[in-house]
Each structure stands twice: as C-alpha cells, then as structure tokens.
Amino acid sequence: MAKGSGLSIDTDRIGCFLHHPTVINSFPDDHHHHHHHNNNSNRRLNHHHPKLKLEPMETTQQVPNTIQFPVNLNCTSHDGDEDDEGVDPPPSCDKRRVIGEMDFFADRKQGGRNETAAADAGGSDKKGLDVNVNTGLRLLTANTSTCQSTAEDGKSHNSDDKRAKAERAVLQAELERMNVENQRLRDALNQVTSNYNTLQMHLITLTQHQNHRNRDHKTENNSANGNPEVNNNRLHGGFSGGQVVPRQFMDLGLASAADTDEPALSPSEEERLPVNNAAAKELCDDHAREDSPEDGSNKVARLNPAKNVDQATEATMRKARVSVRARSEAPMISDGCQWRKYGQKMAKGNPCPRAYYRCTMAAACPVRKQVQRCAEDRSILTTTYEGNHNHPLPPAAMAMASTTSSAARMLLSGSMPSSDGHIHHHPNFFPRPSLLPCPSTMATISASAPFPTVTLDLTQNPNNPLQFQRPPAQFQLPFPNPNAAAILPQLFGQAIHSNQSKFSGLHMSHDAVQQQNSLAETVNALTADPNFTAALAAAIGSLIGGGQPNNNGNNGGSISSGNNNSSDSK
C-alpha cells in the first residue's frame, strides 16, 4: 500500500503540468508520504475518502483536549451555521448544547445514572436536534442533563459556561478555518480556470501556426495530390513530414495517449486525456505492481503492452530535457524530490561519472535525472531532468519542478526542431530575438544534442547574467520575450497554487511554511523579473549549496550521502 495509491498519481501529474482542477482533491497520496502532518484540507477529504483515517486529523486540531467528535461539528453547523454571530442561542440553549458534551465527561466521572433526562431533552425541536445529532452520545447527553439537575451549584454552572464558551470558540474557529479553506480552494479553481484559458489560447495559436506550416510543407511535398487531411491530425503529436511538432513535447514524452487520433477532442480534453489514461493505467497496474514493485518501478517506459504503438512513436520522438548547471559542492542539488540512483556511467569526454537517478516519490514516476560534474570546473554540477512528475510535489520540490517543466514547455512550445536539424523558434513566442531587451544569457537550447535540451546556466551571478559562458553550437533561447513573460507567470502561478492547495495541510512545519513563503517569493520574482533565467537562478540558488533546507524531512533532497563522489565507478 505504500507508494502508489492510485489517487495521487492522477493528481500528481496534473498538478505538475496540466493543473487540472481535479488536482485539488488529490491529497490522499501525499498523505502517505508526508504522514503525520495533516491539514485542514485533509479533513474535508476524509469525509469522502474511505481510506483516510480520521484520527490524525482530529487529533491535530488545535481544539483543546476536550471533545473532538465530528458529530458535534455538524451539529453546530446546523444550528448556527448561517450566522455565526447571530447564532447566539439563548443561554439555556447554548448551555444545554454544551452541557451535552460536558455531561459526556461528567457522566464518565459519575458513572452515569439517569436516563430519564434523556427523554426530556428529546422534546423540543432544537434541543431535539442536538440530541439527535449526538445520537452516539445519547446516553451521555442524558446523563449530562441529569448531572446538571443534580448539581445545581453555582460552581459547576460557571465552569460549564466557561467550557461552553470555549467550545463555541473552538467551533467558530473551526468554521472560520473551513471558510478560509473554501476560499482558498475557490481561488485555486479560479486560477486553474484562467490558466486553462491561457493554455488553450496558447494551443490554438500553436495549432494555427502548425496548420500554416503544414500547408506550406504540403505544397512543397505534395504539390501534385492535395490531401488536406494528411497532416492535420498530426497536430497533436508525432511526426509530420519529419517535423517534430510541439504538442508531443508538452508532456515531455508522456503524451503518448494524445498521439492517437482523436481529432474531436478539444485542446483541454486533449491535455487531460493522457493524464487520465495514464492515471487509469496506473490504477490498474498498481495492483500488479504491488506484488512486484520492482517491475513496476523499473520498467515504466515499457510497462503496458497497450502502449506499444505509442511507445514506438515515442521511441522515435525526442524527449525534451532541462539541464541545470549550478555550482554546488554537494554531490547533488537538493530539489526537494526523492531520488534513487539506478546507475552510474563514465561518459565520454568527462572524467567524472554520470549518475542516473529516478524519482521515487511515486511508484511509477517517470522523472529521471542525470547528475554530472563539469569536466572543466568540478565545482559545477550539471543536473539534467527528463519527464514530468506524476504525483504531487512537496513545496520544496515545486520550485525546481515547475522551473524545469516550464523551461521545457518554453522550449517545446516555442521551438520547433525541423527536418534540417535546427531549432526554429515559433514566431509567436520568440519574436525577433535580436531585438529583445535582454541578451538572454543563461538559457540555451542545444540543437546538436540528441534530445532537445534547454540548459539553464546558473553558474553566474543571477544579478549579472550578462556574461555567457560557452554558447558553442547552441541556440540561444531568448526567454525574456513578451509572450513568454505572459505565460510563465501562469505556469508558475498555477503550479504553485494548485500545489499549495494540495499541500496546505500536509506540511505545516515551520520549515515548510518558510519554504512556501520563499516559493511565493520565487514566483513573484519570476513573474516580475523580465529576465526569466536570472530569476530562475535566484530560485534555484536557494536550493543549492549549504541550505538543504528540507533535509530534515525525508523529502528533502535525498542526496546519497557520498556515493556520488565520482571517485570510482566503471
């Protein structure tokens, strides 16, 4: 049961890239990984999700050690829900309600001896409501009332009042929290909606341009027989006349499902489809995988025979990668994810071995990364990410994940490797690079690499990114362009928001809060700074080096202690 309870998987991927609204409900899995800490959001889910346990949630509430029965919550909501303030029931009523709970304890102490009062309580409507609501505690309530009747002294009365007030305050606080959370979820939904619209427009633009391209291409190749449908269906992925269209990269190689011909799908559905299909498959596979987890985790790429066709296509496709160069003495930059090393190789032309890591935060997370020190400067660590996480990410991991995914998207949506082997930037996204205000120094697209790779060079001072190291045969990616600037905040904001909502309840440790804050700052920096990479450097810089801010937890860059010293290896 440990790793891949299916739920998380759906959400996961969505959260990372598509930010599908459904993400909002996708905590449970995380629960798994980040047990102990639970949040407000979890509580709600618990009601619906049979798997979730109630205890942790209830126990962690700030509510005093008194009574923590959900039943009571409902009860109060019934009574005073509409107007918290105005609810103030008449003293008697209030008293009675509270007393019911108090009596519960009193009863315990006294050994409960009256059932007659219970019948009394059931009489009136509101009172009856209380009693009914606390059906489970019926005897207790009865006892309480009797207790009250028996002990009429002022002392108990006062203490009861105090307790009643305290109880009410607790309930009100609870209600407030719920409202806040609802508001947050609403905001998240709005955010998702707006982002969806943005992406849709983005896709439409791409589609139009692709149509244009296809038309041109067709006129060249098929001047004789014009079959207009030939290439149109390819817009969603796959090759069209040797061209790699952007869609196939949108999911970094995971959009195989979208490769099937489904022309009727709207862009949004199209985006969703691969996720859902993958998620469904994950769910199906999980059972089998639980028995043989090794298989599941190791053969992600070849898992499903059903995917054969897609894989064949995918095999021919090139995967987008995001490479991050950063100075770090640590064997690996801590990006907040859990990684498992699965291989190490000596790469040609570099005395330092290249280590291969796989994300282990979810059973079948396809994300992998390679870590290698720079041959010329051993202090520079090159980390190459590939794939998208299919699970929710802890706040500490969101910065890097959203950064790399966004960079990859930028790369894929803005560039079109064509048959000539060069990368052509989409005019919409990279217009007139030479005219851009910023020299775009720190991000490059490698046209010669086997995979389309965007390299983010963070080895320079983010504040002074004007010097570029070595752009040999590499295509400069002018990130700071108007359209990119328009999209990035969406992407980042979305990732942040959706994940924030997801994790709002999971990590509320001080560190986590700080991380979230720094993350928010990062987002602000990214959205405000015209130079994306400079801001990116600032963001990632916070993750690199001494910090390892999240290492206290398990999810903090689980860097292998010293294995990667690159001293040995084959």
- Strand order, beta sheet including 353-359: 339-346, 353-359, 368-373, 380-386, 321-327, 453-457, 443-446, 474-476
Q: How many CB atoms lie within 10 A of CB 20?
A: 21
Closest distance to DNA from the beta carbon of 299 (Å): 4
Q: Does 301 bind DNA (CB under 7 A)?
A: yes
- The one among 295, 329, 377, 521 contacting DNA by CB under 7 A: 295
Q: Kindly identify the residues of this chain, within the stretch 2-41, that bind DNA according to CB under 7 A.
A: 2
- State residue 81 phi and psi, 5-degree precision: -60, -50
The set of residues, in sequence order, having a beta carbon less than 8 Å from that of 50 and lying 6+ positions away, is: none
| Cα–Cα dist 15/30, whole Å | 12
- Dihedral, CA atoms, 525, 526, 532, 538, nearest 10 degrees? 50
Binding mask 306-325 for DNA (x = CB under 7 A): ---------x----------
Closest distance to DNA from the beta carbon of 328 (Å): 16
Q: Does 560 bind DNA (CB under 7 A)?
A: yes
Closest distance to DNA from the beta carbon of 261 (Å): 23
Bridging pattern class, strands 453-457 and 321-327: parallel
Q: How far is CA 527 from the centre of its chain?
A: 19
What amino acid occupies position 528? Answer: A
> Based on CB atoms, which residue is closest to DNA, 50 or 421?
421
**Which window, 240-248, 333-341, 405-413, 528-536, contacts DNA (CB under 7 A)?**
333-341
- State residue 382 phi and psi, 5-degree precision: -105, 120
Closest distance to DNA from the beta carbon of 190 (Å): 37
Q: Is 382 helix (H, G, I), strand (E, B) or coil?
A: strand
Bridging pattern class, strands 474-476 and 443-446: antiparallel
> Based on CB atoms, which residue is closest to DNA, 123 or 349?
349
Q: Does 186 bind DNA (CB under 7 A)?
A: no
Closest distance to DNA from the beta carbon of 463 (Å): 33
**Which window, 91-99, 247-255, 352-360, 529-537, contacts DNA (CB under 7 A)?**
352-360
- The one among 111, 123, 154, 349 contacting DNA by CB under 7 A: 349
Closest distance to DNA from the beta carbon of 323 (Å): 11
- The one among 70, 343, 427, 437 contacting DNA by CB under 7 A: 343
Question: CA–CA distance from 13 to each of 103, 106, 406, 526 (Å)?
Answer: 49, 51, 14, 22
How many residues touch DNA (CB under 7 A)? 37
Question: CA–CA distance from 525 to each of 126, 283, 393, 535 (Å)?
Answer: 54, 38, 21, 6
Binding mask 362-401 for DNA (x = CB under 7 A): ------x-x-------------------------------
- The one among 175, 341, 508, 527 contacting DNA by CB under 7 A: 341
Q: Is 349 exposed, middle or buried (0-12, 13-18, 19+ CB in 10 A)?
A: exposed
> Based on CB atoms, which residue is closest to DNA, 382 or 531?
382
Beta bridge partners of 353: 346
Q: Does 344 bind DNA (CB under 7 A)?
A: yes
Q: CA-based diameter of the chain, in Å?
A: 103
The residues of the shown chain that bind DNA, judged by CB under 7 A, are 2, 294-295, 298-302, 315, 338-349, 354-356, 360, 368, 370, 450, 558, 560-564, 568-570
